[in-house]
């Protein structure tokens, strides 16, 4: 008995020691990594912009560590810090050192520091908002907020009907498994790119893709929480899940969909199905995000077309390509503001109301990335524009601080919802946001919001539009007040 007590005490002491030493080891490793980056990237050609870029990397690594070892899984924060750390943290260090930016034009050295200051303000405001203490979640009983098998099956059926109706209008099924260029040619031949009004194209192509990913998320959430009531309901859910997977293979495969849509669907499926409760799995998720963005992200050009495959660059050489043009586009945004002034929300409002046709809104803005690229005389103008750069173009430095502080608070609420709630609307919203966040950060919003915004609208309507259990496919304790009024549902305030 005494031996057992001594063994238990030794195990507790070992856990306490490990808990106390882990931050020290992580801090030492992070310091060594930042120092090594400074010696290899900043020291050979010291600049203020390079030093500020090193600060960005240090902030991202520290915040990523805290998000990884937090008390609960934080996928929204992890994806944010991993993407920022690789795309506009590490890549600009190489580009500034070698004076080699992705797009060949006259360098704008006078705006390098401004670009880095914009980014530092954004990440520090985000971290401040994320670490702000939140009030305790409210408890609400509502069948409308619950994800049920009935809702998943109905939405999957709607997605299937949309595909049957819309696929023939957008080139057919076979072209979806060729290449992105072939799909674009088929869409142009169908007359869906007339002028700048792409409302019909969005209805026939973007909306079915968004419905498909939401249907898959709802089906997987039902599997994760075992919402099915009996073997018959399980069989129906299995059939619906198979249809949802097939539809996403059609609309969101890497051959014809852009990388962010394909990656978002795969990430959303993983987050909806798997609960990463153990620390080792959270650490692997964070490391996987870093490696995926650093290595697999540029490799995804293999699916694009023959030209992209021929120009593919590997290793450090990939960081000088247009895949990592976030810093240069932030510099271009600073140049645009210096020459043209701020736009005061014109592009943001146009992006949020993407569903309004240009035939009804003549003053509707094109994506801000096109405008910034045009100010630099680029022939190819459909470029990325980081979210912080677009906010700066719209609302100046003050807007960057305010919006990213609110963004951090929103991210914290979504991460908490994903961990503290059952299969309901806040969980599904957190899954979609965490998965699609990288595309929104890369921007511009005018190009990314049509898909993401359509997915959010479909999710809200699809989940909130059904009050409770009707067909008996969902377990009564999962439905809400229709079955058990006393079962509360926690939602973030």
State the CB neighbour count (10 A cutoff) for residue 361. Answer: 12
Q: C-alpha distances in angstroms, 355 versus 141, 165, 449?
A: 33, 20, 10
The mean pLDDT of the chain is 84
Q: In the predicted model, what is the mean pLDDT of residues 291-295?
A: 85
State the CB neighbour count (10 A cutoff) for residue 288. Answer: 14
Residue 469 reports pLDDT greater than 80? no
Residue pair 279/73 in contact (Cβ under 8 Å)? The answer is no
According to DSSP, residue 202 is labeled: I
Give dist(CA 448, CA 436) in Å, integer.
Answer: 9
pLDDT band at 487 (very low <50, low <70, confident <90, very high): very low
Question: Highest-confidence range of 178-187, 388-397, 472-481, by mean pLDDT?
Answer: 388-397
Q: C-alpha distances in angstroms, 385 versus 367, 433, 434?
A: 9, 19, 19
According to DSSP, residue 45 is labeled: S
Lowest mean pLDDT, pick from 33-37, 120-124, 465-469, 470-474: 465-469
Strand partners, 424: 146
Q: In the predicted model, what is the mean pLDDT of residues 408-428?
A: 87
Q: How wide is the angle at C-alpha 209 spanned by C-alphas 232 and 363, nearest 5°?
A: 145
With residue 140 as reference, give the H or E element that holds it.
strand 138-140
SS3 471: coil
* Whole-number pLDDT of residue 46: 93
SS3 146: strand
* Whole-number pLDDT of residue 141: 53
Q: How many residues does the chain have?
A: 493
Return the percentage of the chain with pLDDT > 70, whole number.
85
Residue 115 reports pLDDT greater than 90? yes
Rounded to 5 degrees, φ, ψ at 135 are: -70, 165
According to DSSP, residue 70 is labeled: S
Q: C-alpha distances in angstroms, 363 versus 202, 232, 369?
A: 19, 53, 17
Return the percentage of the chain with pLDDT > 90, whole number.
45
Per-residue pLDDT tens digits for 5-27: 444 444 444 444 445 677 788 88
Residue 196 reports pLDDT greater than 60? no
Residue pair 297/259 in contact (Cβ under 8 Å)? The answer is yes
Q: In the predicted model, what is the mean pLDDT of residues 164-175?
A: 89
Q: C-alpha distances in angstroms, 457 versus 140, 208, 211, 450?
A: 22, 13, 9, 10
Judge if the upstream peptide bond of residue 444 is cis by omega within 30 degrees of 0. yes
DSSP string, 149-188: HHHHHHHHHHHHHHHHHHGGGGT-SGGGGS-HHHHHHHHH
Residue pair 478/231 in contact (Cβ under 8 Å)? The answer is no
Which has the higher per-residue pLDDT, 1 or 264?
A: 264
Residue 493 reports pLDDT greater than 50? no
Give dist(CA 332, CA 111) in Å, integer.
Answer: 8
SS3 467: coil
Give dist(CA 226, CA 228) in Å, integer.
Answer: 6
The owner of tokens 């890549």 is 91
Residue 172 reports pLDDT greater than 70? yes
Residue 121 reports pLDDT greater than 80? yes
pLDDT band at 484 (very low <50, low <70, confident <90, very high): very low
pTM of the predicted model, to two decimals? 0.87
State the CB neighbour count (10 A cutoff) for residue 296. Answer: 12
């Amino acid at each position: 008995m005494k031996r057992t007590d001594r063994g238990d005490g030794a195990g507790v002491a070992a856990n306490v020691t490990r808990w106390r030493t882990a931050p020290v080891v992580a801090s030492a490793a992070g310091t060594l990594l930042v120092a090594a980056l400074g010696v290899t990237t900043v020291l050979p050609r010291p600049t203020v912009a390079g030093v500020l870029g090193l600060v960005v990397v240090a902030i991202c690594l520290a915040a990523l560590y805290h998000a990884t070892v937090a008390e609960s899984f934080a996928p929204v924060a992890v994806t944010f810090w991993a993407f920022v750390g690789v795309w506009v943290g590490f890549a600009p260090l190489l580009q500034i050192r070698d004076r080699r930016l992705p797009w060949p034009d006259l360098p704008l050295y006078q705006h390098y520091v401004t670009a880095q200051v914009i980014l530092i303000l954004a990440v520090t405001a985000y971290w401040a908002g994320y670490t702000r203490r939140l009030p305790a979640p409210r408890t609400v009983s509502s069948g409308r907020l619950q994800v049920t098998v009935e809702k998943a099956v109905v939405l999957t059926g709607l997605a299937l009907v949309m595909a049957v109706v819309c696929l023939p209008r957008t080139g057919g099924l076979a072209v979806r498994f060729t290449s992105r260029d072939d799909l674009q040619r088929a869409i142009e031949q169908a007359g869906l790119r007339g002028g700048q009004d792409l409302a019909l194209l969005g209805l026939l192509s973007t909306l079915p893709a968004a419905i498909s990913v939401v249907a898959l998320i709802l089906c997987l959430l039902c599997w994760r929480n075992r919402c099915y009531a009996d073997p018959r309901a399980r069989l129906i859910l299995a059939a619906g899940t198979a249809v949802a997977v097939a539809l996403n293979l059609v609309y969101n495969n890497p051959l014809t969909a852009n990388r962010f849509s394909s990656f978002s669907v795969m990430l959303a499926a993983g987050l909806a199905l798997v609960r990463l409760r153990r620390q080792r799995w959270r650490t692997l998720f964070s490391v996987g995000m870093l490696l995926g963005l650093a290595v697999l992200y540029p490799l995804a050009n293999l699916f694009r077309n023959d030209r992209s495959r021929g120009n593919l660059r590997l290793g450090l050489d990939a960081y000088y390509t247009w895949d990592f043009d976030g810093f240069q586009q932030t510099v271009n945004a600073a140049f645009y503001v210096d020459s043209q002034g701020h736009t005061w929300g014109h592009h943001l409002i146009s992006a949020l109301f993407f569903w309004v046709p240009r035939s009804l809104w003549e003053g509707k803005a094109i994506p801000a990335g096109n405008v910034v690229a045009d100010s630099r005389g680029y022939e190819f103008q459909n470029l990325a524009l980081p979210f912080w750069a677009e906010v700066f173009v719209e609302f100046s430095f003050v807007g960057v601080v305010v919006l990213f502080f609110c963004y951090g608070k929103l991210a914290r609420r979504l991460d908490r919802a994903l961990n503290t709630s059952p299969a309901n609307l806040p969980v599904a919203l957190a899954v979609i946001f965490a998965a699609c966040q990288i595309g929104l950060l890369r921007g511009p919003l005018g190009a990314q919001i049509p898909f993401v915004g359509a997915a959010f609208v479909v999710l809200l309507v699809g989940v909130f539009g059904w009050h409770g259990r009707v067909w008996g496919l969902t377990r009564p304790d999962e439905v809400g007040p229709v079955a058990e009024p006393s079962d509360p549902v926690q939602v973030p305030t």
